[in-house]
Amino acid sequence: MEKVTLGQIKRAKGERKLVMITAYDALFAKLFDPYVDIILVGDSLNMVFAGRKDTLSATMDQMLYHTQAVCAGAKRAFILFDMPYGSYTDPASALANAIRVYKESDADAVKLEGGIEKAEVVRTLTDNGIAVMGHIGLMPQHVRAEGGYKVKKDLDKLLEDAKALEEAGVFAIILEGVKADLAAEVTASVSVPVIGIGAGKDVDGQVLVWSDMLGFFTDFTPRFVRRYMEGARLVQGAVRRFADDIREGHFPGPEESY
């Protein structure tokens, strides 16, 4: 299987739907690799993997560790590094941290949240040879400032942000938590692919957090998630059978013994 390239992702606009999923380790990255275009090493790992209440305390070291693991498992998919909160507050710090991503991992690009207010940061990165994906609409790193996760309905602001990011050089944009009709207008307004999450179907692709999509995260299920497996129930059932077999003397049996 040939490696998914930046050019292929950009050319997908209007031609085919892009498929993106999160991953945080080599095992799941290898499982997802044949079927998706992009694997996002998302700062969502701070909630899913580390059990925190939001993404804000994720660090560069933490994100790099998981990105290195994902890169070891996935050989085909395009690997996207999610810049953690506080790592791109200004062009200089953003560039230093993004250079670190390229030097310390095999990630193909970085993602950062913010629209017109982050255009200068994006331009600095792209001018220095770093591929950048934008992220507008509902931005999880703003959850405390906004008092929760809120669907975005201001079309003028969304269009302004999308066009500013496009002009600054992003190769694609994630659009999160936006009414479907507005998302369609934003998608049509830019020449780069727009990948939705909670943004309806009239975008250029979709992304979900793997543990939501496979039913492993059970604390709550966002409206935009479709579960393709009841992962938590299946794993708990298997572990229960394992425990029962040990306690009842059924494991190990002759076939598992030397």
Is 1 domain-assigned? no
Is 74 in the same domain as 21?
Answer: yes
Is 124 domain-assigned? yes
Is 164 in the same domain as 234?
Answer: no
Read off the pLDDT of residues 197-255 as tens digits, 9 standing for 90 and up: 999 999 999 999 999 999 998 888 888 999 999 999 999 999 999 999 999 999 999 99
Is 203 domain-assigned? yes
Total tally of structural domains belonging to the chain:
2
Read off the pLDDT of residues 29-56 as tens digits, 9 standing for 90 and up: 999 999 999 999 999 999 888 889 899 9
CATH number of the domain that residue 203 is part of: 3.20.20.60
Is 194 in the same domain as 237?
Answer: no
Is 54 domain-assigned? yes
Is 182 in the same domain as 234?
Answer: no
pLDDT at residue 222 in the model: 85
Is 217 domain-assigned? yes
Is 104 in the same domain as 189?
Answer: yes
Is 164 in the same domain as 51?
Answer: yes
Q: Which domain holds residue 243?
A: 230-258
Check if the beta carbon of residue 141 is closer than 8 Å to that of residue 43. Answer: yes
Under the banding of pLDDT at 50, 70 and 90, the label for residue 24 is: very high
User: What is the Cα gyration radius of the chain?
Assistant: 20
Is 234 domain-assigned? yes
Is 128 domain-assigned? yes
* Two structure tokens written together for 236: 């708990």
Is 199 in the same domain as 257?
Answer: no
pLDDT at residue 257 in the model: 96
Residues sharing a CB contact under 8 Å with residue 70, sequence separation 6 or more, in sequence order:
23, 24, 25, 26, 29, 39, 41, 79
Is 179 in the same domain as 73?
Answer: yes
Is 118 domain-assigned? yes
Read off the pLDDT of residues 131-164 as tens digits, 9 standing for 90 and up: 999 999 999 999 999 998 899 999 999 999 999 9
Is 88 in the same domain as 102?
Answer: yes
Is 133 in the same domain as 257?
Answer: no
DSSP labels, the chain? -PPP-HHHHHHTTTTS-EEEEE--SHHHHHHHTTT-SEEEE-TTHHHHTT--SSSTT--HHHHHHHHHHHHHH-SSSEEEEEPPTTS-SSHHHHHHHHHHHHHHS--SEEEEEBSGGGHHHHHHHHHTT--EEEEEES-GGGHHHHTS---B--HHHHHHHHHHHHHHT-SEEEEESB-HHHHHHHHHH-SS-EEEESS-SSSSEEEE-HHHHTT---S---TT---S--HHHHHHHHHHHHHHHHHTT-SS-GGG--
Is 248 in the same domain as 158?
Answer: no
Q: For the chain, what is the mean pLDDT?
A: 96
* Rounded-to-integer distance, Cα 153 and Cα 176, Å: 11
Q: Which residues are catalytic?
A: 176
Q: Cβ atoms within 10 A of the Cβ of 9, count?
A: 26
Read off the pLDDT of residues 77-113 as tens digits, 9 standing for 90 and up: 999 999 999 999 999 999 999 999 999 999 999 999 9
Q: Cβ atoms within 10 A of the Cβ of 235, count?
A: 12
Is 53 in the same domain as 139?
Answer: yes
